[in-house]
Chains A and B, each alone.
Chain A
Amino acid sequence: MEFDFAAEQPKLLMLMYGLIAFVAVVGGLLVLLDAVPAWFARRREAQLLAASASGAPVPRRPKPREGMFAFFFLLPAVLLLLVGLVVPAVRTVLLSFMDGSSVDWVGFRNYTWMFSEDSIVRVLTNTLVWVLLVPLVATAFGLLYAVMVDRARFESVAKSLIFMPMAISFVGAAIIWKFVYAYRGDGEEQIGLLNQIVVSLGGEPRQWLLDPPLNTLLLIVIMVWIQAGFAMVVLSAAIKAIPADIVEAARLDGVSPWQMFWQITLPSIRPALVVVVVTLSIATLKVFDIVRTATNGNYDTSVIANEMYNQAFRYGQNGQGSALAVFLFVLVVPLVIYQIRNLRKQREG
């Protein structure tokens, strides 16, 4: 395919506007935040100088009204949160009690639909499988890798290799893996890596993404592939932060590598492990791009976020879509609360 810069001119122009606007707004804000306090500081300096020159007592600084001050800085954030988060959340909850075209109230019908319709129950189970498997497997892989490459030769190279998929968008990753799983008929030239391996070992090519529950597991592999790098980086940093004297002491006590891992490394990095698992769980609950790109939820692979999009935006069933969204929200909330409390505890401890 050819890429014609001239033909893309409107897009490039928009991009330029965006960049200029970004520079103008962010630059303006920085200047404001920089100039205003600096002006106050200079005035204060001048006052002090004047006071010391005349020998008069130093004028007392007026007490800043902290409430007003905090309010001033909080206002933009609060406004944005209201417009972008609170209002839509409340509206979604309301819509979830209304019918498809958001006209009549239907009570809990959308919720009973969610838990009684076979295909949706399937969606919920799939999401559960995702949430159980992705954080565990990705963290386990990351941890294993972090321990293995720790202080090894070429550590940084080895780490960048596994970290690289992080740079790929979920959609991009899903497309890459769709090619890996691609299927061509028996006797045809295989274009999918997995089937090519199977064929060269003498097997018959398979339609990997067709049969549940294998297809969901294969999709989970994609997410693990992306996220293992994140787990590895955080855990590797935590391992390196274990105080050297503890490791030294353990060595002197003559622990085996096995004991070292279970009794020194693992307890020491527990907080980091929790952070990784919780973060991955939240990311997994929201998974949408991978499923939509790879199968679009066909062949029994759909998850909540994908079904929510389909119901609300493609099928015009706002009520059912909103109900799914609310359910997803309810699932994420405890994790977020746990995460916040955990972080707070760490900061105090």
Chain B
Amino acid sequence: MAVFARPRQALAIAGVLGLALSVTACGTGNDKKSDKAGSAECAAYDKYKGHDGKKVTIYSSIRDIEADRLDQSWKAFEDCTGINIDHEGSAEFEAQLGVRVDGGNAPDLAFIPQPGLLKRFVDAGKLKPVGADTKAMAEQNYSADWLKYSTVNGQLYGAPLSSNVKSFVWYSPKTFKEKGWTVPTTWDELIALSDKIAASGTKPWCAGIESGDATGWPATDWIEDLMLRTQTPEVYDQWTTHGIAFNDPKVAEALDKAGQILKNEKYVNGGFGGVKSIATTAFGEAGLPITTGKCALHRQASFYANQWPKGTTVAEDGDVFAFYFPAVDPAKGKPVLGGGEFVAAFADRPEIQAVQTYLASGEYANSRAKIGDWVSANNKLDLANVPNPVDKLSVQILQDQKTVFRFDGSDLMPAAVGAGTFWKGMVDWINGKDTATVLQGIESSWPK
């Protein structure tokens, strides 16, 4: 088949195209100049200097607006040090990170939100322990509790970055004022309030655990919060490390306590239907009926602040706000469930360590917090730099000495449980399966 009448002509076309390809490829190099490098405002970055023109790639699950804010937050650092930070966010982060690492295409740094996943990469020998500078910076700025989650076999594999507080109940201060309801401070008050609201004809709670291929996780947060409230923090630690069986009566107790609300037809599910509607209600939409008065309470983390429709004021006297999910016995302290991500490195070039150290610093925490919608357990974070009231409350809780903080349990467990059977088990549980069967199923799936 003669495709071209004159082969030589075609050859020339192909050649030109190939040439054009290589020329354009050269033309897109990043020509960022660090012309501000000598100025006074760059003095703060002096200790990170000496890597001009180097590139550091970061992979995370952070996308869209939040990713833009990230880019903005380290702009000054990039300009002053000449290090080019290349961030890529993916909705498939957890699955793809493994694929990329196994494929020899690991990013320099990854923001890993699951200590369980971090440990997996450490065990596989893929992660590098942090350098001395980062270690000093992390120990200075974060409590030992927080560093524990990214420490494997005595080695620190990354400082925490952002955090969130999960022990929140969202409500409408406006509605509460109108109806004369008060914010409960104990579990019994919470149940009494729920009964009162239910008696008035409104379903008090709304809930939803549908979240695409992560369906079920919001319910695991409920269980973790109640493990912390019905048991001691020590038992919680045993639970997340399989020191006690997953179907231990203590876990069953926590599950049944959560069921007191989640599986109560009188309490749920405002605006959506019966108990089973929790399974198919998208987590992002679940709390929205609060704004229309179809329910009054929604237990969800601080980051739910981003889900409210445009024009909703989030404030102590506004349309919506959050209160601390009460402890069963406040005398035993103030347990808080939370999460966060850790900056782990797959390579240990000096410029990577510089970025890692900078991200653990107080300067970074403050510069990122100023941009908005961000919380960190970094103790150098100045409350005045946190604009959003719920974030402010979160930082206060995290910095409070009385707070007994525990990390999200499902993120600590091996992924097969923490991102697998625990999630699926919660879906089945909401769907009507009994507590014992669900817990037995999760227990038998714990990797041997």
Contacts and interface: CB of A to CB of B under 8 A. Distances in A.
Interface of A: 13, 16-17, 20-21, 23-24, 27-28, 30-31, 34-35, 38, 100-101, 117-119, 183-186, 188, 205, 207, 209-210, 292, 296, 298-299, 309-311, 313-317
B3 A183 contact: no
B11 interface: yes
Contacts of A20: 17, 20-21
A13 B272 contact: no
A185 B117 CA distance: 37
B144 interface: no
A298 B216 contact: yes
B24 A299 contact: no
A17 B419 contact: no
B328 to A, nearest CB: 31
Nearest to A36: B7
B420 A31 contact: no
A316 B416 contact: yes
A298 B18 CA distance: 49
Given A17-B24, A210-B276, A299-B431, A315 B415 contact: yes
A117 B414 CA distance: 18
Contact of B424 (A27, A35, A298): A298
Contact of A298 (B271, B415, B427): B427
Contacts of B188: none
Contacts of A205: 273
Contacts of A298: 215-216, 279, 424, 427
Contacts of B380: none
A31 B416 contact: no
B65 interface: no
B1 A207 contact: no
B94 A183 contact: no
A21 B7 contact: no
B136 interface: no
A31 B14 contact: yes
Contact of B123 (A34, A101, A315): A101
Contacts of A31: 3-4, 7, 10-11, 14
A16 B269 CA distance: 50
B213 interface: yes
Nearest to B418: A315
Interface of B: 1-4, 7, 10-11, 13-14, 17-18, 20-21, 24-25, 28, 94-95, 98-99, 117, 120, 123-124, 212-213, 215-216, 269, 271-273, 276-277, 279-280, 414-416, 419-421, 424, 427, 431, 441, 444-445, 447
Given A310-B420, A316-B98, 18 more contacts: A17-B21, A23-B14, A23-B17, A24-B14, A27-B13, A31-B11, A34-B2, A117-B444, A117-B445, A185-B272, A205-B273, A298-B216, A298-B424, A299-B431, A314-B95, A315-B415, A315-B420, A316-B120
A155 to B, nearest CB: 34
A314 B7 contact: no
B1 A210 contact: no
A185 B447 CA distance: 39
A310 B215 CA distance: 13
B14 A183 contact: no
12 contacts: A20-B20, A24-B14, A27-B17, A30-B4, A31-B10, A101-B124, A117-B444, A207-B276, A311-B416, A314-B95, A315-B414, A315-B420
A186 B271 CA distance: 9
A93 B196 CA distance: 60
A348 to B, nearest CB: 28
Contacts of A207: 273, 276-277, 279-280
A184 B271 CA distance: 8
Contacts of A309: 95
Nearest to A9: B28
A101 B125 CA distance: 11
Contacts of B98: 313, 316
B273 to A, nearest CB: 4
Contacts of A100: 416, 447
A23 B3 CA distance: 14
Nearest to B216: A298
Contacts of B4: 30-31, 34
A128 to B, nearest CB: 21
Contacts of B419: 314-315
A299 B421 CA distance: 12
A160 B262 CA distance: 48
Contacts of B99: 313
A241 B348 CA distance: 67
